[in-house]
Structure 1
């Protein structure tokens, strides 16, 4: 995407990559004088695109432009990839379709105006029952994050480093090539026009059109997660080695908490207690604003517990990150961020010990899908009779915890805070500016 001052950007969203992609065209589409209607099945043969069994004239790319208000429905779009709510749905989109060959598979990209993309993101990320303040705050934040991702800048540090005693990985904007953002939780959950059902969400986008968060002259890389657990996290705990001033730890409430639980004693005291924070709520009216039906499959998130046997940990490490250290002896937090989130965890085995990180790699390694967060304390129990070991993880929050806390922001909206106040709470030292 090319940013032009004063003009709304057009972005490329990666929807799906598969051996075969089935699409229903809801109207007429054009490509280089050819007319396309009804159902399409796109495959690849000998590195050429095959459309409904016929080789397309361009072996590597096919772009379809809609006539008027034509839309398209993609069959079996996967979202929530790798999480316990992963599922397939048929989803409908507006804008252009772009099919490309990619390493022997078909890649489907949706080319769409940024504001139309945001209308879907806001509806996909949360219920349109949300307060006006929350919807506007989310619109500004999502717009800022997206544009910030598309401005080239050098990465600070290696995102995938490994040695004999340490494996450190993090996942972010460098993971995509050939398109700007993906349609899943890795970026922002984008499900086309399928879930745009409420005028409130559309109004929030229109009333904040072109409005972004800025720190000095920089558009903010405005991150967010479901539930911070009481304190938001530093950027470098999760991603590259930098810490923007507007993404510093914040206590998610009105008290005077310092918001730093990076040592073991502090993390234990914080995670094992009930904290008076905005995101500490069980109010279904508020939760329904932020969590879709499949999100509600997670019963607890402000404070939670997970139990793993030593055998479970051994199996998961091999399955999820290809790590074998023998029988698991211990899990030892080495470094934590301000919210207590672990970003370096030592795995002690009977044959070897190794440190893994950052936070998402830890969450991947210790769960069939992903742990809710890496803010947990470890309680190790060994049965004296059988010798078997259990690890009880007492955790806090849902997600990486950086930036805006969606549940906390929803509570703030219900309490009467404005969208500007919500943004100022989570993103310190920022200002609002309309850029188109």
Structure 2
């Protein structure tokens, strides 16, 4: 249903101007895909503030949302995690979402004419579906605040669960080391990681994770991959034909035990030994499993007709660990303490009021 004050139809473009009300978004879109390409991919509907521009792109409809930054940020924290999360977590999440946006806008999707997308490729933005007065106030109280390093806005990366140890930036994205995105142990006093199931029981966690996230094991997980399944997915993603896999060999690991480079050794159709090198944690997660692995932090055990992966964490593991930060907030750490724990050599500055 659309309730708007202005509807303009131009050549191959429709613009819908919504009459903005914080408590009553009027534009709802059905059939959106959340978690594109990841194991939690699903179809959702979402309501939006601001204006929508609908264009034809590659035989599909591409929907743009024009919205004020602070309105957008009110929605990000409760798209990434639940509106039931503690206030100090929502404050921390909003500050890093603002920082990440301002550090990265126009970098990923400029060719398509928008700043960032609405999904995990950038950061989750599922409209106003899950906001509350609690989450709105948390965003308003941090208005204009960003994380900074030597006066520059931080590219504040984050993921769902580091698995107990976060990862260095360069082991995930292969760029130069970033001073504030360094590997840390996810604890302060008792050496029990904040994200561990001892700190926050995973049956309890379902109350706080994002609405599109899967209920399951985040801290430690196990999955069995058949050789046939890997062979099929290698062809799907890389267009390389494999007759039989002989071994999976980690070549490089980061401090969190995330595999940054992995070799697939195999026999081709002529029974000759060949190999494929997967050069990033993202590629490893995508190529080994059709459902996209939770993380690349896993040990490999050979079993009949396949491999058993004993893994830890969910996501790339760089920067803030959302489940760890949630655990800290539940233990009454404030947002400043949470951010200083995950981002060394940083401070919070105010860009505007």
Aligned residue in 1 for 2:69 = 114
Matches within 5 A, 1:410-429: 410-429=326-345
Give unpaired runs (5+ residues) of structure 1: 1-23, 32-55, 153-172, 257-274, 383-388
Aligned residue in 2 for 1:283 = 201
Number of equivalenced pairs: 342
Aligned-residue offset at 1:104: 3.5
CA contact (8 A) 2:109 2:116 kept: no
CA contact (8 A) 1:130 1:410 kept: yes
Structure 2 CA distance for aligned equivalents of residues 151 and 369 of structure 1: 29
Instruction: Give the 3-state SS of the residue equivalent to 2:2 in structure 1.
Output: strand
CA contact (8 A) 1:331 1:347 kept: yes
Matches within 5 A, 1:166-245: 173=108, 177-196=112-131, 198-245=132-179
Instruction: Give the 3-state SS of the residue equivalent to 1:348 in structure 2.
Output: strand
CA contact (8 A) 1:224 1:404 kept: yes
TM-score in terms of structure 1 length: 0.74
Aligned-residue offset at 1:392: 1.1
Measured against aligned partners, the alpha-carbon deviations of 1:341-400 in whole angstroms (never above 9, x if no partner) come to 112110001122110121111101111221100011111235xxxxxx321111110000
Structure 2 CA distance for aligned equivalents of residues 426 and 402 of structure 1: 9
Matched, 1:62 2:14: yes
Aligned-residue offset at 1:287: 1.7
Measured against aligned partners, the alpha-carbon deviations of 1:41-88 in whole angstroms (never above 9, x if no partner) come to xxxxxxxxxxxxxxx5x4343333224547211121111112232221
CA contact (8 A) 2:19 2:50 kept: no
Q: 1:305 to 1:221 in 2, by over 3 A?
A: same
Give unpaired runs (5+ residues) of structure 2: 269-273
Matched, 1:397 2:313: yes
Aligned-residue offset at 1:283: 2.4
Aligned-residue offset at 1:112: 0.4
Higher strand share: 1
CA contact (8 A) 2:39 2:293 kept: no
TM-align CA RMSD: 2.1
TM-score in terms of structure 2 length: 0.91
Out of 30, 37, 60, the residue aligned to residue 7 of structure 2 is: 30
Aligned residue in 1 for 2:98 = 143
Structure 2 CA distance for aligned equivalents of residues 430 and 285 of structure 1: 34
Q: 1:176 to 1:243 in 2, by over 3 A?
A: farther
Aligned-residue offset at 1:311: 1.7
Q: 1:150 to 1:27 in 2, by over 3 A?
A: closer
Structure 2 CA distance for aligned equivalents of residues 359 and 175 of structure 1: 25
CA contact (8 A) 2:7 2:14 kept: no
Structure 2 CA distance for aligned equivalents of residues 217 and 174 of structure 1: 26
Structure 2 CA distance for aligned equivalents of residues 425 and 68 of structure 1: 37
Structure 2 CA distance for aligned equivalents of residues 176 and 229 of structure 1: 35
Tell which structure's C-alpha radius of gyration is larger: 1
Aligned-residue offset at 1:316: 1.8
Between 1:390-399 and 1:64-73, the stretch displaced more is: 64-73
Aligned residue in 1 for 2:53 = 98
Matched, 1:435 2:351: yes
Q: 1:396 to 1:346 in 2, by over 3 A?
A: same
Matched, 1:364 2:305: no
Instruction: Give the 3-state SS of the residue equivalent to 1:82 in structure 2.
Output: coil
Structure 2 CA distance for aligned equivalents of residues 68 and 332 of structure 1: 54
Q: 1:140 to 1:397 in 2, by over 3 A?
A: same
Structure 2 CA distance for aligned equivalents of residues 226 and 391 of structure 1: 25
CA contact (8 A) 1:290 1:406 kept: no
Aligned-residue offset at 1:402: 0.5
Aligned residue in 2 for 1:3 = none
Instruction: Give the 3-state SS of the residue equivalent to 2:180 in structure 1.
Output: helix
Aligned-residue offset at 1:294: 4.3
Instruction: Give the 3-state SS of the residue equivalent to 2:283 in structure 1.
Output: helix
Aligned-residue offset at 1:208: 0.2
Matches within 5 A, 1:288-327: 288=206, 290-297=208-215, 299-327=216-244
Instruction: Give the 3-state SS of the residue equivalent to 2:284 in structure 1.
Output: helix
Aligned residue in 2 for 1:169 = none
